[in-house]
Amino acid sequence: MALDRQFHHRNLPDQIADHIVDRLALGELSRGDRLFEKELCDTLNVSRIPLREALRLLQAQGVVRTEPNRGTFIIGFDKKEISEAQEVRLSVERIALRRLLPIVKGRPEILSSLDEPIEQMKRAAMVGDRLEFCRADLLFHGRLIDLSESVTLRPVWEVLSRVTFVFMTQEPVLAYNYAGAIEDHVILKNLIREGRWAPVEKEIFAHITVPMSLRRPA
């Protein structure tokens, strides 16, 4: 099976970690499932060294847990943990956006890099590809982090992105509003261009913490 470079990481352990997260997002893995090293090595045609590095990475990011003499298992996220992850994400994106607004004032053309993920979201929505839509959504937010030019926030975002991806893909399918989510990102981009902090902060808070059905019903 080819490794899916979901978050465009460069090294093999990151690609393996992304593959495991993909399986979790697809429902092929569930809370409490054990990950068998030999099975993963055979499936992905990799050795145990990068696989174990990937598992250590996922453990540090809160996706799996390793128990001595028992193995590695998928962690389940309860409502409190999801809420805490949202708080961390909101803090990271607020910092990025505060840095970004004065940058955009002098170089508004850099916002064109947000067009690609928005177009990817539109294409995924047309065919109902939920996973690709969520990847494009996270690509948009990753671009915000990059545009903020913060060397501190990028590694923090790399940690958050995998867990956030799982949360996003596990939202109830029937309640998912592709059009509303796309509109969210277009509005956020336009507010960033306008350069006023209060509307940007209000939008990013709603975007991350308020369910879509309460803001932009399908």
What distance in Å separates the CA atoms of residue 93 and residue 205, rounded to the nearest whole number? 9
pLDDT for res 26: 82
Q: What is the total residue count of the chain?
A: 218
Q: Are strands 34-35 and 71-74 parallel, antiparallel or unpaired?
A: antiparallel
E-strand spans in 23-70? 34-35, 64-67
pLDDT for res 171: 67
What distance in Å separates the CA atoms of residue 137 and residue 169, rounded to the nearest whole number? 11
pLDDT for res 173: 57
**158-170 pLDDT, tens digit each:** 888 888 888 887 6
What distance in Å separates the CA atoms of residue 21 and residue 48, rounded to the nearest whole number? 18
Sheet holding 71-74, edge to edge: 34-35, 71-74, 64-67
Non-local (6+) Cβ contacts of 42 within 8 A are: none
Non-local (6+) Cβ contacts of 203 within 8 A are: 184, 187, 188, 191
**45-68 pLDDT, tens digit each:** 999 999 999 999 899 888 898 888
**100-159 pLDDT, tens digit each:** 999 999 999 999 999 999 999 999 999 988 889 999 999 999 999 999 999 999 989 988
- Report the mean per-residue pLDDT for the chain: 87
pLDDT at 30 over 90: no
pLDDT at 207 over 50: yes
pLDDT at 179 over 70: yes
